Amino acid sequence: MDEKKAARLQKLETEAAALMGKIRAEDDIEKKKQLIAKRERIQSQANSIKNNRRISREAKRDLVAYSFIAPNFIGFAVFTLIPILFAFVLAFMNWDGSNAPSFAGLSNFARLPQDTFFVAALKNTLIYVVGTVPLTMIASLALAIVLNQKIRAKGFFRTVAFFPYVASLVAITAVWSMIFHPSKGPVNYLLLTVFGVDQKNLPQWFSGGLVLLTLILFSVWKYMGYYMVIYLAGLQGISGELYEAGSLDGANTWQKFLYITWPQLRSTTFFVVVMLTINCFKVYDIAVMLAGGGDGKLSTSATVLVYYIYQNAFNYWDLGYSSAIAMVLFLMVLVITLIQFRYEKKISE
Amino acid sequence: MNQTAKSKKFRSKKRAAILGKVGIYAILLLITACMIVPFLWMLSASIKSDREVFQMNPFVWIPEIPKWDNYIKIWTKIPLLKFVENTVFLTIVVTFLQLLTSSFAAYSFAKLEFKHKNALFLAYIATIAMPWQVYMVPQFIMMRQMGLNDKLLAMICLQAFSAFGVFLMKQFYEGIPGELCEAARIDGMSEYKIYAKIMLPLSKPALSTLTIFTFVSTWNDYLGPLIYLKSESKKTIQLGLKMFIGQYSSEYGLIMAGSVLSLIPVIIVFLCLQKYFVEGVASTGLKG
Amino acid sequence: MRRKMVSVLLTGAMLATVLAGCGSKPQDSGNADAGTDTPAPADTTQADTPDDAGDDADAGAESAGGEAVTLKWAIWDKDTTPYWNALKEAYEASHDGVTIEMTDLGSADYQTVLATELSGSGSDFDVVTIKDVPGYATLVSKNTLEPLDTYIADAGIDLSQYGGVDKQVTVDGSLYELPFRNDFWVIFYNKDIFDAAGVDYPTNDMTFEEYDALARQVADPTFGSQVYGTHYHTWRSAVQLFGVLDGQHSILDGEYDFFKPYYEMVLSQEDDTICRNYADLSAEGLHYSAAFSGGDVAMLNMGSWYISTLISSLQSGEYDSSLCGNWGIVKYPHAEGVEPGSTLGTITGLAVTSVSENKDAAFDFVAWVSGAEGAKVMAETGNFPALMNDEVSGIIAGLEGFPSDEASKEALSVSNLYLEVPYAENVSAINDILDTYHKSIMNREVSIDEGIASMNEEVGKIMAQ
């Protein structure tokens, strides 16, 4: 036993000495740092053997830290990380979930541009994102600014604005499809009686060219309360002195917004836009529930990427192809997030 | 002369301020109306008969004979109680696990030094930008292989370990001064004790925020249960409601009664926790 | 460095899962292949008793049932569909030692759920119910069903008793399911509405022109007291499939110009408020039963499954009998110069899974349910068995609540039955394409010609693959 220990100690020490030589010879500071860290680790291992401790202090510290992370990380790794990697692999395979999978190369991706339904889904998703992100941002910012003023019943207004976010989608889409019902709904009834729109020209909110507009309006309505809270938190971080200084300089409300509020909220806006973009690309349930009709199927005017991913996976069992579409979704989110990161960095420099 | 000009200016400024206030209230009321009218419509329709729901001329909010029995009938038309049970069980377990494991892991990331810390945290951050829909299919295949298809446990595994929770809690803990922990360490407190006795009690706003987010998203989730929960006895209230709408499409009163019932728990949770909410969002760095 | 290590670890973990996922596959597909190529050895026991289907069923059960056998059977809507339990009880009563265990997968996404259940390992179903042909095609292509040819030959089952329906679901010469229920489309009509309007009832021999004229005659577009002459549910079958009744066309053609006259007829009825607007129906997801039982729809084209729903819902008081209690049925309208009685059918079948450990016992159950005895049970619960004959239609027409007029009874006899969706390899995808453009046409997003052109183009792409 002791002999073994001695041999191991010997080995560690020679290793440490060799590293010392390397460190002296190394010019690159980064690499030098790495080597030093490595040597320290070896040294501490050697020390712990010398002092007859089973594990070093560092190892113990690491273990405690890992024990904190483990419960979450194990679940996270098994149920999120592995499937993500699996998804990347799957995009290059042909698999129906039962028979043996085969390697497909890029053929799944090659199919995409010719697929009418994919192209329609992509187009609709992009329109939806481009429509929803700015509108929600503006609406929630405006609401946050108004609610940040000294007004009565602030809490009440804030709660009400947050209601749609909390409400379940199934319930609230059921209400929307009644309110916007093409021939019986109150909205079209108002258009017919008050605004004198001809019965033949009443808008068909859930089909054709209007359906995406309805989806966008619905999302703005539902999610603006959520982003308003984030903006509200951002606004509360702006020091009042800035506004006082602005008043002294004779700035009007609009100028104060332009030169104080907006720049101060830049990082909040960045966060809001990134989250909004990610969430908008995920759109599925809103489309199915508002435009799906009785059978939940979407026609080319309302189909979205996630719907098509679902269709290919669970109806056609073309798992590779569905994963390839998912990759397109991911790439778009990634590119947009990176562009925003770049932009944010550039401005803050 | 000078004096009157000044007071005139002052008065006009005051008038402008009042006008501004009025304008703000007008806008607020308009927005509030947009936000709340669908909910009022829902409540009103839930006590109407099917023919009254779309009656516009004259439109009444409360019908002459309110049909309260819609709220009783809905329980017998579909196994609503079972759906509620499933959803309550899922939501509570997921929220509890999420709070516990996230705050646990976040403490480590925020206050401890250890090997591979950055790499591990990067793994979390990278997946926040990854829509779940990208990997839902492989995840499903894996879960099925593990025998978790059509089990409530699958939904728990799916939702209880989100990267978002860890991120949110870590941001919050980083705002707590490190000296607090250092002092406790010198007193000989173990890390577990520091977490339980010092950090946890301080993190009420962040925990409330995370509770609202988790509770709302689990309670209202649709696509997840749609993929995983197939037999009727496992379904959640969202799936059940959707199923009911499919079968009894023209029973508007009942549909709305079911919808109202499905909203009550989330709204209660939200109202109880909302006083911490903005504070929580502000202190968890969610504002960016 | 650190990052690298984490990624190596993760890749390893992932590979392990992928391998684990695939590891179980070759076994499954091997099983299925064995089924196609060589008959399972156990079959010989059944071949010893080449009697007619009914007797053989008993014998088969005995040979399989030396010990107690439990068969797991996938079904939907156990509580609202009376025949599942009736079939189970009748079979168990006549077959000692066999227990049938039913698992309810719900009707909404039944085929999706079933395909999921049967994918990979871990399923323990012996017998599965097949709800529609696209779902059947999926299961067959996933090698999850057992080919039944050798079993059928050994049991001496005469497939001609199914009136040719079996040929429409034969895959590369093999049959993977036996039909036990066969619904066909008829016209339901509300006699009270016709009486009130003073219009003659529809008949068993109507051309489409006559049908259209009748719908227009009986309709009352006055706002407030609207009566719709006819009603089309949002399914594409309700409109498109008028076109296949002449026997010249099928939905697998790849050329859909023959839909055109029927779209024109329905859309112009919509324009004149003869029927409800598709966009409205779709927005509220109106169920056809809600439409017909509301008492403002004179005619409804729908499958024969609605007969038993109507009877039982009227008896239980769920439907107001003053609104729709006085109903009748007639045969589907037909194109000029075609013999009446051609209609659309939908079959429901039973199949044996390739992973079942009791394939013989499972097949015996399948054969019994789709045979004469099963047919009797089906008819007694008001449903149409695949094995239709005069006795069976007599049972249905004699049910309490079935309309008493002669025309309704006569409407039960079918001369030609075309499946809504016959089998083809890509039938799932074709079905979805036709659905999608049906939606677009009916929502008036595109003109009829554009919609049909898109159908031709997209289905063409699929067929070219």
Q: Where are the alpha helices (DSSP H) in chain A?
A: 2-25, 29-50, 57-76, 82-90, 107-111, 116-147, 154-166, 169-179, 186-193, 211-236, 240-248, 253-256, 262-264, 266-281, 285-291, 305-310, 319-348
* pLDDT band with cut points at 50, 70 and 90 for residue B9: low
Start-to-end CA span in chain A (Å):
60
Instruction: Say which of C2, C120, C284 has its CB closest to residue B145.
Output: C120
Q: Which of A252, A280, A254 is nearest to A337 (CA)?
A: A280
Which tokens hold the place of A112? 């995409």
Q: Where are the alpha helices (DSSP H) in C300-447?
A: 305-316, 321-324, 359-370, 372-380, 390-397, 406-410, 427-442
* pLDDT band with cut points at 50, 70 and 90 for residue C6: very low
Q: What is the mean pLDDT of chain C?
A: 81
Which tokens hold the place of B42? 């829902």
Q: Mutating which of A58, A62, A68, A318 best tests the B interface, going by the most B Cβ atoms within 10 A?
A: A68
* pLDDT band with cut points at 50, 70 and 90 for residue B8: low
Which tokens hold the place of B286? 């969610």
Contacts of A16 (CB under 8 A, 6+ apart): A39, A42, A43, A46
User: B84 and B39, same structural domain?
Assistant: no
Residue C224 has pLDDT above 80, yes or no: no
Q: Which of A334, A323, A278 is nearest to A109 (CA)?
A: A323
B107 is a domain residue: yes
User: B142 and B18, same structural domain?
Assistant: no
Residue given tokens 């070093």 in the structure block? A56
Which tokens hold the place of B111? 């206050």
Task: Tell me if C434 sits within 8 A of C181, measured CB to CB.
Answer: no
Domain A111-348: homologous superfamily in CATH:
MetI-like (1.10.3720.10)
Q: What is the pLDDT of residues B11-44, one digit of tens each?
A: 777 787 788 788 888 888 888 888 899 999 889 8
Task: For residue B93, give Cα distances in angstroms to B155, B158, C463.
Answer: 10, 12, 49
User: B227 and B92, same structural domain?
Assistant: yes
User: B109 and B23, same structural domain?
Assistant: no
Q: Using DSSP bridges, classify how beta strands C416-419 and C327-330 pair: parallel, antiparallel or unpaired.
A: unpaired
Domain extent listing, chain A: 2-94, 111-348
Residue-wise DSSP of B131-177: -HHHHHHHHHHHHHHTT-TT-HHHHHHHHHS-HHHHHHHHHHHHTS-
Q: What is the mean pLDDT of chain A?
A: 85
Question: What is the mean predicted confidence (pLDDT) over A182-208?
Answer: 81
* pLDDT band with cut points at 50, 70 and 90 for residue A54: low
* pLDDT band with cut points at 50, 70 and 90 for residue B164: confident
> Considering Cα of A220, then A223, then A225, then A226, what sign does the dihedral take?
negative
Distance CA B171, CA C430 (A): 51
Residue A63 CB neighbours (<10 A):
12
User: B74 and B35, same structural domain?
Assistant: no
B53 is a domain residue: no
pLDDT of C9 reads 41
Q: Mutating which of B122, B137, B221 best tests the A interface, going by the most A Cβ atoms within 10 A?
A: B137
Q: With contacts defined as CB-CB under 8 Å, which chain C residues touch A181?
A: 280, 283-284
Residue C54 has pLDDT above 80, yes or no: no
User: B130 and B89, same structural domain?
Assistant: yes
Residue C10 CB neighbours (<10 A):
16
Residue C62 contacts A, CB cutoff 8 Å: no
User: B13 and B142, same structural domain?
Assistant: no
Lowest pLDDT segment from C11-20, C121-130, C200-209: C11-20
Q: What is the pLDDT of residues C68-117, one digit of tens each?
A: 889 999 998 877 777 899 999 999 998 888 999 888 887 777 888 888 88
Q: With contacts defined as CB-CB under 8 Å, which chain B residues touch C21?
A: 141-142, 145
User: B279 and B218, same structural domain?
Assistant: yes
Question: What is the mean predicted confidence (pLDDT) over A135-162?
Answer: 86
User: B204 and B120, same structural domain?
Assistant: yes
- Please state, for a pLDDT cut of 70, what percent of chain C lies above it: 85
Strand partners for C127: C73, C352
CB contact under 8 A, A229 and B45: no
Containing domain of residue B210, as a range? 70-283
Q: Which of B27, B31, B61 is nearest to B47 (CA)?
A: B61
Which tokens hold the place of A120? 């329609």
pLDDT of B285 reads 58
* pLDDT band with cut points at 50, 70 and 90 for residue C261: very high
Question: What is the mean predicted confidence (pLDDT) over B193-217?
Answer: 87
CB contact under 8 A, B142 and C104: no
Q: Using DSSP bridges, classify how beta strands C342-352 and C416-419 pair: parallel, antiparallel or unpaired.
A: parallel
- Smallest CA–CA distance, residue C404 to chain B, in Å, is 29
Residue C116 contacts A, CB cutoff 8 Å: yes
Q: Mutating which of A125, A138, A166 best tests the B interface, going by the most B Cβ atoms within 10 A?
A: A166
User: B233 and B150, same structural domain?
Assistant: yes
Q: Which of A259, A223, A205 is nearest to A139 (CA)?
A: A223
* pLDDT band with cut points at 50, 70 and 90 for residue A23: confident
Question: In CATH, what number is assigned to the domain containing residue B192?
Answer: 1.10.3720.10
Contacts of C103 (CB under 8 A, 6+ apart): B231, C72, C73, C74, C75, C125
* pLDDT band with cut points at 50, 70 and 90 for residue A298: confident
Residue C200 has pLDDT above 80, yes or no: yes
**HSE-up of B130 (CA within 13 Å, CB side)?**
21
User: B107 and B23, same structural domain?
Assistant: no
Lowest pLDDT segment from A39-43, A63-67, B83-87: A39-43
Q: SS3 sequence, B74-121?
A: HHHHCCHHHHHHHHHHHHHHHHHHHHHHHHHHHHHHHHCCCCCHHHHH
Instruction: Say which of C119, C280, C454 has its CB closest to residue A98.
Output: C119
Chains that touch C (3 or more CB pairs under 8 A): A, B
Task: Tell me if B220 sits within 8 A of A168, measured CB to CB.
Answer: yes
Residue given tokens 């910012």 in the structure block? A141
Q: With contacts defined as CB-CB under 8 Å, which chain C residues touch B145?
A: 17, 20-21, 24, 120-122
CB contact under 8 A, C284 and A300: no
Q: With contacts defined as CB-CB under 8 Å, which chain B residues touch A170?
A: 222, 238, 241-242, 245, 259, 262
Distance CA C136, CA C115 (A): 9
CA A53 to chain centre: 46
Which tokens hold the place of C313? 């819902």
- Smallest CA–CA distance, residue B171 to chain C, in Å, is 22
Chains that touch A (3 or more CB pairs under 8 A): B, C
Distance CA A282, CA C247 (A): 45
Task: For residue C170, give Cα distances in angstroms to C29, C148, C167.
Answer: 20, 11, 5
C16 phi and psi angles, rounded to 5 deg: -60, -45
pLDDT of C223 reads 66
Residue A125 has pLDDT above 90, yes or no: yes
Exposed, middle or buried, C291 (CB in 10 Å: 0-12/13-18/19+)? Answer: buried
Residue given tokens 């594990």 in the structure block? A55
Q: What three-state secondary structure class fits B61?
A: coil
Residue C47 has pLDDT above 70, yes or no: no
User: B82 and B208, same structural domain?
Assistant: yes
**What's the total number of domains in chain B?**
2
ipTM for the complex?
0.84
Length of chain B measured in residues: 288
CB contact under 8 A, C18 and A89: yes
Which domains does chain C show, CATH number per domain? 45-183+346-397 (3.40.190.10), 184-343+413-464 (3.40.190.10)
CB contact under 8 A, A90 and B108: no
B61 is a domain residue: no
- Smallest CA–CA distance, residue A4 to chain B, in Å, is 28
pLDDT of A157 reads 84
- Work out the angle at residue A286's Cα, subtended by the Cα atoms of residues A282 and A288, and round it to the nearest 5 degrees: 100
The pTM of this model reads 0.82
Question: What is the mean predicted confidence (pLDDT) over C16-41?
Answer: 37
Distance CA A79, CA A196 (A): 56
pLDDT of C130 reads 93
Question: What is the mean predicted confidence (pLDDT) over B161-183?
Answer: 84
pLDDT of C17 reads 43
Q: With contacts defined as CB-CB under 8 Å, which chain C residues touch B123?
A: 6
Q: With contacts defined as CB-CB under 8 Å, which chain A residues touch C144?
A: 98
